Amino acid sequence: MAQLESHTDPDLRCACCAYVMPSETSATGLRCGLKYFTSSVIARKFLRMQHYPEVQASNACEAWQARPALERARED
């Protein structure tokens, strides 16, 4: 798993990452879905959310990817 660290750039953080997943079972409300989203569709299988690491909204890692523009526009 990629090393998580705090970043001050508001665009390069987990809250804005394409791989972030909302989670009611996480203390932060977010989990990293990198492992899920980077596996092939055929290889994906549903795992409990506890299998994905909790992340802070202000954290980021070298695997960060921007969300599609359409998805970002819905939040505004």
In the chain, where the domains are located: 9-75
Choose between 1 and 15: higher pLDDT: 15
Q: Which helix (H) or strand (E) holds 60?
A: strand 59-60
- Rounded to the nearest angstrom, the gap between the alpha carbon of residue 56 and the centroid of all alpha carbons in its chain is 10
Tokens at 42, concatenated: 């055929």
pTM: 0.69
H-run or E-run covering 63:
none
Average of pLDDT values for 36-46?
83
How is residue 29 written in tokens?
Answer: 């409300």
- 46-76 pLDDT, tens per residue? 778 888 999 999 998 999 988 886 554 555 5
Average pLDDT over residues 32-53: 86
**Residue 61 one-letter amino acid:** C
Give dist(CA 47, CA 67) in Å, integer.
22
